Amino acid sequence: MDAISFPPAPVNEPNLTYAPGSAERETLVVELARLEKKQQSFRAVIGGRRRNGGGAEMKVVQPHDHAHVLGTLKNSTVKDAESAIKAANDAAPAWRAMGFDERCAIILKAADLLAGPWRQRLNAATMLGQSKTAFQAEIDAACELIDFWRFNVHYAKQILTDQPIANSPGIWNRTDHRPLEGFVYAITPFNFTAIAGNLPTAPALMGNTVIWKPSPTQQLAASLTMELLEEAGMPPGVINMLPGDGLEVSKVALAHRDLAGIHFTGSTPTFQHLWATVGQNISGYRTYPRIVGETGGKDFIVAHPSADPDVLRVAMIRGAFEFQGQKCSAASRAYIPRSVWVRIKDQLIADTEALTMGDVTDLTNFMGAVIDDRAFAKHKAAIARAKRAKHLTVLAGGQVDDSVGWFVRPTIIESSDPGDQMFSEEYFGPILAVHVYDDSSMPGSFERVVEQMESFAPYALTGAIISQDRAAVAWAQETLRFAAGNFYINDKPTGAVVGQQPFGGGRASGTNDKAGAAVNLLRWTSPRSIKETFVPPTDHLYPHQG
Ligand SMILES: NC(=O)c1ccc[n+]([C@@H]2O[C@H](COP(=O)([O-])OP(=O)(O)OC[C@H]3O[C@@H](n4cnc5c(N)ncnc54)[C@H](O)[C@@H]3O)[C@@H](O)[C@H]2O)c1
Ligand SMILES: N[C@@H](CCC=O)C(=O)O
């Protein structure tokens, strides 16, 4: 039980290609057809039992074909939340008493199940429910989630072996990395199946029990993730899943004495609301809740006059438009010197207009639809404003159509004013704002543009510098030190890999407790220092007293 053990060393799960004729493509197509045909009832999982929530029914649809219902769920109520918290508290003593290796084995088994028999089921669910292409589903639902699980085990083990390095003579000091006292409330976003799987399991690995509130628009993949975890051996009550909008769940969870932590990813306003509610309730908790949140972004690409035009163009297209720009890391503002802009503009527009968009089960498409009618309406309004405003020019895209799915064409908007709201507000979709700065007759124009954009947006999640000039790279890296938690040099600002670029940002983008890293797992522990004295003193007087 307590023997020293070494879990398998983690390596990043390789991405499958889904090229025509590949075995993975064949299996994926079969899974897509199977899941599309089913209409499922997505039920809560409380103490290992399935049950319908007591609230109103919500439909889960395919964003690219919104008449196609994948299933329904019943919103979770106050009563459901109370039952789930009781189940989490009941399961806690046995879970934290279970050996650490046993908990690791469950998570590692989940990773292997996902790498093997579950891979295409979860990929297909992510494609249908979240409108991801095969490749975008693969890097998320398969590879990133597998990586989260395998690397978390590695980092958790490191934490456990982190013990005091000094012992006075006759004394043995130890650190007991306890779980938190109470339950962790994991609230997850629609856009990444990997994040949805990581947020409840990271605290669980450290010995906590969890209430998991997934996004309604990610419910198909979330329900399958729950089934996968059960197959891997996750005991009943350790992770309790409550579908729905979370409003009633929060009424109970955020006011509960046993709330020990919040593990959140989603928008900045939602996180600020959760934090404010915790603040209002602060005197009622048994312990100060740990609050971890990764939130919005206004991620940037800044190009120096020395930028390689092709590198810049590809970074802009992939960074802004993959998965419809619905990655928190997606490039949504770019600052380009005129000397480079004239070399890429026509090709950039042509490439953007040529991006194929549609039903993601047609694997020739580059993009699908935005997640729901609210996202669609937000983008429609932003594009309409751009078409009206004199200082804004829609260069590519600009068309929207919600007759079949919530489709927004990848859109590039040039602004003569870098102070426009396009450069500070998160739309979370396929709109890229571009400001072209004059670098012909104005020395220092690059530096001025960087200084302006550094804190123009309230966020600080990801950003990229494209430059072949080493001094400019070094200067930008220093000047933009606090403008991004993930900073890329000559690459797009998306696509962080677990174990390679730990992910998260500061300012309004979150608490920067890097997902899939030891610093994150540490938040789910409450260390106890233990000092044992082998031969304790038996006389209370000190030698200097003579
Ligand atoms: N920084 C990151 O790592 C990261 C990663 C992914 C997404 N995001 C951000 O997430 C946002 C998009 O995701 P979203 O639209 O799902 O965000 P959202 O804030 O609308 O929803 C996130 C989750 O919170 C739930 N929620 C909302 N109000 C709640 C309440 N009162 N109580 C309990 N749950 C509540 C939602 O149902 C959902 O499950 C974007 O802002 C994006 O930048 C950030
Ligand atoms: N980790 C992902 C983004 C997750 C947020 O949506 C990336 O780096 O692109």
Separation of CA 250 and ligand 1 centre (Å): 14
* Residue with token string 């400019």: 472
- Ligand at minimal distance from the CA of 330 is 2
pLDDT (tens digit per residue) in 280-312 = 999 999 999 999 999 999 999 999 999 999 999
Q: Tell me what the pLDDT averaged over the chain comes to.
A: 97
Our answer on whether the CB atom of 461 is closer than 6 Å to any ligand 1 atom is yes
Q: How confident is the model at residue 3 (pLDDT cuts 50, 70, 90)?
A: low
| Residue 83 Cβ contacting ligand 1 at under 6 Å | no
Instruction: Residue 83: name the closest of 42, 128, 46 by CA.
Output: 46
Q: Is 294 a catalytic residue?
A: yes
Residue 385 confidence (pLDDT):
98
Q: Is the CB of 461 under 6 A from ligand 2?
A: no
Percent over 90 (pLDDT), the chain: 98
Q: Residue 251: is its pLDDT beyond 50?
A: yes
pLDDT tens, residue by residue, 462-518: 999 999 999 999 999 999 999 999 999 999 999 999 999 999 999 999 999 999 999
Binding site membership of 327 for ligand 2 (Cβ less than 6 Å) = yes
Residue 294 CA: nearest ligand 2 atom is 5
Listed residue (223, 180, 168) closest to 205, CA to CA: 180
Question: CA 434, CA 302: separation in Å to the nearest integer?
Answer: 10
Write down the residue that tokens 């001094």 correspond to.
471
Taking 70 as the threshold, does the pLDDT of residue 350 lie above it? yes
Q: Kindly report, residue by residue over 361-411, the tens digit of the pLDDT.
A: 999 999 999 999 999 999 999 999 999 999 999 999 999 999 999 999 999
The DSSP code sequence of 339-379 is HHHHHHHHHHHHHHHT--BS-TTSTT-SB---SSHHHHHHH
Predicted local confidence at residue 443, as pLDDT? 80
Residue 309 CA to ligand 1 centre (angstroms): 35
Q: CA angle at residue 218 from 215 to 224, to 5 degrees?
A: 115
Give pLDDT tens digits for 195-230.
Answer: 999 999 999 999 999 999 999 999 999 999 999 999
Residue pLDDT, tens place only, 126-142: 999 999 999 999 999 99
Q: pLDDT of 71-88, one tens digit each?
A: 999 999 999 999 999 999
From the list 31, 138, 248, 328, the catalytic residue is 328
Measured from the CB, is residue 510 less than 6 Å from ligand 1? yes
> Which residue CA neighbors atom 7 of ligand 2 most closely?
495
**Which residue, judged by its Cα, is nearest atom 35 of ligand 1?**
246
Q: Which ligand is nearest to the CA of 299?
A: 1
pTM of the model: 0.98
Nearest ligand atom owner, CA of 211: 1
pLDDT tens digit sequence for 234-248 = 999 999 999 999 999
Confidence of residue 4 (pLDDT cuts 50, 70, 90): confident
Reported as a single tens digit per residue, the pLDDT across 268-281 is 999 999 999 999 99
- On whether the CB atoms of residues 369 and 135 are closer than 8 A, the answer is no
Ligand 1 test: best mutation among 132, 185, 264, 295, most atoms within 8 Å of CB? Answer: 295
545 has pLDDT over 80? yes
**Cβ of residue 503 lying under 6 Å from some atom of ligand 2:** yes
Ligand 1 atom at shortest distance from the alpha carbon of 215: 39
- For tokens 């106890």, the residue is 528
Mean pLDDT over 172-186 rounds to 98
Q: Which value, to the nearest 10 degrees, does the dihedral of the CA atoms of residues 215, 220, 226, 230 take?
A: 170
Ligand 2 atom nearest to CA at 326 = 6
Query: How far, in Å, from the CA of 86 to the mean position of ligand 1?
Result: 25
What count of other Cβ atoms lies within 10 Å of the Cβ of residue 4? 6
Q: Give the closest ligand to the alpha carbon of residue 216.
A: 1
Q: Look at residue 2 in the predicted model and tell me its pLDDT.
A: 58
Q: Is the CB of 495 under 6 A from ligand 2?
A: yes
Q: How confident is the model at residue 47 (pLDDT cuts 50, 70, 90)?
A: very high
For the cut 70, the answer to whether the pLDDT of residue 1 exceeds it is no
CB-count burial class (<10 Å; 0-12, 13-18, 19+) for 73: buried
3-state secondary structure of 438: coil
Whether the CB of 516 sits within 6 Å of ligand 1: no
Cβ neighbours for 294, distance < 8 A, ≥ 6 positions apart? 195, 264, 265, 328, 503, 504, 505, 509, 510, 511, 512, 513, 515
* Cα 206 to averaged position of ligand 2 atoms, centre (Å): 23
User: What percent of the chain is modeled with pLDDT above 70?
Assistant: 99
The residue whose C-alpha atom lies closest to atom 31 belonging to ligand 1 is 247
The single residue of 294, 322, 426, 454 carrying the catalytic annotation is 294
Specify the ligand 2 atom closest to the Cα of 189. 6
The verdict on the CB of residue 213 being under 6 Å from ligand 2 is: no
Residue 270 near ligand 1, beta carbon < 6 Å:
yes
